[in-house]
A and B are shown apart, each in its own frame.
Chain A
Amino acid sequence: MATVDPTPARAGDVAAKSGSLFDSAAYHRVRTLVLGALSVLAIAVLLMWPVITDYYSYNASYYNGLVASAAISAILTISLNLSMGYGGMLSMMHSGMQLAGGYAAGYLVVKVSGSWLLGIVASVAVGTLVAVLVLLVSLRATYLYFGMITLAANLIVIEVGREWESVTGGIVGVSGIAPKLGDDVMPKQFFYYVVLAFLVLVYVLQRNLVRSGVGRASMAVRESSDTASAMGISPARAKLLLFGISGGVAGLSGALYALQLGFINPDVGLLDNGIIFFVGLFLGGISTLIGPVIGVALIAILVELIKDQARYTTLVLGCLLLLAMMVIPRGVVGTWKASRVGRDKLSDPDDEALPDQVPDVVPEVRDVPAGVAALEGVGIVKHFGGVHALDGVDVRVMPGTVHGIIGPNGSGKSTLVSCLTRYHQIDKGQVLVFGEEAPAAPHRVAHAGVTRVFQVPHLFERVSVLDNVLTGMRMRETYSWSGALLRSPSYRRQDLQEREEARQLLGFAGLASRADWLASSLSHGQKRLLEVVRAVASRPKVLILDEPATGLTSSELDALARLCRVLRERGLAVVLIEHNVDFVMGLCDEITVLESGKVIERGSPERVRASAAVLEAYLGRPDLVEETS
């Protein structure tokens, strides 16, 4: 594809501006055409494959089986991509889930009823069940330990398969699993199309899921479950959903495997067999939509080429995997997309003027009861071991104000934020949101209307700027995961509206031209702004900003200050934790000063500026300073 000769760029074309052929619009048009033609060709070959093999080969059923098996592997690899690539959950039990699904299909088809469709339904159910059970018991486990638990679970599934002879047939397994069409055994050619149809179904399912709010929530949890919680996403729920779907797909591939080959035995579940899916995923490109399919296709071709030396297959695959990791760490698709030849065209950034008009999408808080604090901490005490990080702190943030919290380093500002948003459990005291006790889990606090922005940038760096903002909207999405999978009308409506709103919000912050950029390509100041925009997109009533001004240029500071003022006008309560005293004094209506975990002063900026206690906390005792000078 790299050899495609693009039409020469005309004078005044974009190419002339950016100085590269590969960035020209014409090249992109040609590339789209070529890639599209190749896809159509691949699909046509797959559809015509039984006819082609029938015509050219005496061994047609062998070659049909080869492609069908590869398609089944691709289905399992897509499932692995969902959990590892998009969910960040290292699973070593995918071959085990395939085995479990195969058993379910085999048992139903051979011993209970003859219906293969019923077998497929059962296998999806069993796969989902196994995945959900394993995830439920390991919700608290960290990343590596989750992998080890799945490995143990994989071995347990295999042991159960070996011992539970009445259902699984023990070491020998179940054989004679054949799909039926009416009363006859279904012809293999027909089943080939069944497998192909399921591959298309699973691919579309993956695409719809990943592009919806459900997928964005999972990717947010993958990057950082703390940040996801701040967006009102429940990490446990997101993981459960994605891993459950992934398990269902793995079970489906098991049923197809059993139906295609006619048998299932415990060896199918061995990790040695599972490695081929890892190789496929990494070769094709993890966290890409088409990567798993391309990777599996490449491996199928390779295995077919060395089939005369079949005993070297594992060795070759192992070496190939190591080599691929070194040469194309992001896989074929990932490397293509990142290269000059394959990357998408991005809009040129212009330093656009900030719009004067405040767009309607900036949230507005109405109907709040008068005199009730938006966010209130009463007598908060927090100890870390023997350290009293917070020692009875009272703070009251009124709606429609900007409330500053300042204090020297180590005075407990960030701890206070974490306590108010329930990231830390408090030892004593109360947190009230609009007069009601705040819920116990961080993501529920976000649902109650309190959104925080972290001190260190917590962007989702590997997705686009627009997707970052869309993730912030996850909380108010009303469509269900099944609606997202099927792209129901209500889902489409909401999705369209969200994208429009997100672009308006970005425009208001001066980031509109960078909406399609990767978040990691922004400058530090733009990242901080984007984080605030993302938080605003969740339509909070209280917005907590932890040191947002650190490292910003003066124009970026102005943009931030302007945003804070607009939010105040709209009735939000903004809590500002900051070191930059000028910034705080110019913006805040009220300031609380912390020192060693205690409130030493509170009130208007003038009052704080004049306070002796504050001066002492920051500069030491002025009288002593004068004595030494």
Chain B
Amino acid sequence: MSPEAIIDGLFAGSVYALVALALAIVFQPTRIMNFAQGEAVILGAAIAYQVVALEKLGWAVALGVTIVLAAVMGLLMERMIMLPVRMSGSRYAWIIATLAAALIFQALFNLGYFDVDALRPEPVIAGDFQVAGITVGWQEALTIVVALAVMAFYDLFLRRSVYGRAIRATAHSTETSVLMGIPVQRIVVLSFVIGTVITAIAGMLAAPVLFVAPATGLLFTIKGFTAAVIGGVGSPRGALAGGMIVGILDTVVRSLVGGTVGNFAVFAALAVILVVFPSGLFGKPMEAH
């Protein structure tokens, strides 16, 4: 195993950490584990592929388009998921609704890019550099830095801003928050939008290096979920730690044994963690379900 594998792991880990963060952002006010979250990764990758690789318009345009379309996707997702959940009242409603949303988006990506094997644009910054004898790709370094920055910013937002406090209050109790005059509905919409934008940016950054196919959204959801469970749903720091563990485990096993065994290791790890700690590694984040 080379030290580069660790760097690859940290890179993949930052992507999973961002997905985990987005899952947590949506989960906190809604108590919904959004199975469609990974589809935003595909959205980011597809826009990068379309704008950068096909239209040759450059990354600045891609970023702008991604943010706008991801926000739209977030709004759509909120309607597609929350409306059936409210109207149905079944305890399975959320899982069926998020699965259905995931399949709808996946079908759309499949229809749009049915002849594309991997959505792979050129990297934002090509080439690599040497640190202590280890080769690090600029794209990888950029992704890790962006992930850290997003985490730090969201952490600050959650702790310092009025909106952040409102989100944390809603996470504790929706009913009480309504009584306190917090616009819960607006916060739910906002969390879907923020989560989707973050995930789409992760997908955009991941696409030049990771394998992102139109139909792999669910895979990113599951890896992000694994990261969230390992790190504890709710805290950006936990998402970061969980994402890194999943990324390194995945890449290292892949480089040692090869092939699809990396996925296998992650799913097995998820199963083992859930079996040994039935309510997650850090406390009891999801007893509501």
Contacts and interface: CB of A to CB of B under 8 A. Distances in A.
B50 to A, nearest CB: 20
A246 to B, nearest CB: 15
A42 interface: no
A144 interface: yes
Contact of B260 (A90, A137, A163, A311): A163
A142 B80 contact: no
Contacts of B271: 137, 149, 152-153, 156
Interface stretch (A44-52, A318-326, A418-426, A512-520): A318-326
B132 interface: no
A329 B85 CA distance: 10
Interface in A119-157: 137-138, 140-145, 147-149, 151-153, 155-156
Nearest to B286: A144
B89 A329 contact: yes
Nearest to A316: B107
Interface string A47-74: 0000000000000000000000000000
Interface in A297-340: 311-312, 314-315, 317-319, 321-322, 325-326, 329-330
Contacts of A88: 91
Contact of B83 (A84, A140, A326): A326
A275 B99 contact: yes
Contacts of B225: 148
Contacts of B90: 286, 325, 329-330
B186 interface: no
Contact of B97 (A155, A311, A325): A325
B103 A141 contact: no
A278 B96 CA distance: 8
A360 interface: no
Contacts of A162: 260
Given A140-B278, A155-B222, A163-B260, A329 B88 contact: yes
A271 interface: yes
Interface stretch (B121-129, B142-150, B198-206, B261-269): B261-269
A440 B96 CA distance: 38
Nearest to B221: A151
B239 to A, nearest CB: 16
A585 to B, nearest CB: 38
B54 interface: no
Given A155-B263, A271-B218, A315-B107, A138 B275 contact: yes
Contacts of B103: 272, 275, 314-315, 317-318
Interface string A222-262: 00000000000000000000000000000000000000000
Contacts of A148: 225, 229, 270, 274
Given A144-B286, A159-B263, A149 B88 contact: no
A329 B92 CA distance: 11
A28 B96 CA distance: 35
Contacts of B101: 318, 322
A142 B279 contact: yes
Tell me the interface secondary structure of chain A in the complex.
helix
Interface string B79-116: 01001100111111101110111011011101100100
B275 A326 contact: no
A282 interface: yes
Contacts, number: 123
- Secondary structure class of chain B's binding surface, majority of residues: helix
B111 A325 contact: no
B214 to A, nearest CB: 12
A220 to B, nearest CB: 16
B33 interface: yes
A286 to B, nearest CB: 7
A144 B263 CA distance: 21
Contacts of A147: 95
A509 to B, nearest CB: 30
A90 B270 contact: no
Contacts of B268: 152, 156
Contacts of A325: 84, 87-88, 90, 93, 96-97, 100
B84 A144 contact: no
Contacts of B106: 272, 314
Interface in B44-60: none
Contacts of A140: 275, 278
Contacts of B114: 311
Interface string A146-188: 0111011101100100110000000000000000000000000
B222 to A, nearest CB: 7
Interface string B252-288: 0000000010011001101100110011100000110
B88 A315 contact: no
A45 to B, nearest CB: 31
Contacts of B289: 142-145
B100 A321 contact: yes
Contact of A318 (B100, B215, B218, B274): B100
Interface string A468-479: 000000000000
Contacts of A151: 222
A145 B278 contact: yes
Given A144-B286, A145-B286, A156-B268, A326 B84 contact: yes
A141 B264 contact: no
B84 A322 contact: yes
B211 to A, nearest CB: 16
A312 B101 CA distance: 15
Contacts of B218: 271
Nearest to B105: A318
Given A155-B222, A282-B96, A326-B87, A141 B107 contact: no
Given A137-B271, A275-B99, A318-B104, A311 B111 contact: yes
Nearest to A271: B218
B224 to A, nearest CB: 12
A141 B97 contact: no
A143 B84 CA distance: 20
Given A145-B274, A286-B90, 11 more contacts: A137-B271, A143-B91, A145-B280, A148-B274, A152-B222, A163-B260, A311-B111, A314-B103, A315-B104, A322-B100, A325-B87
18 contacts: A142-B286, A143-B289, A148-B225, A148-B270, A149-B275, A151-B222, A152-B270, A271-B99, A275-B100, A311-B114, A312-B107, A312-B111, A315-B103, A322-B100, A325-B87, A325-B96, A326-B83, A329-B90
Query: 3 closest A-B pairs (Cβ-Cβ)?
Result: A144-B289, A329-B88, A318-B104
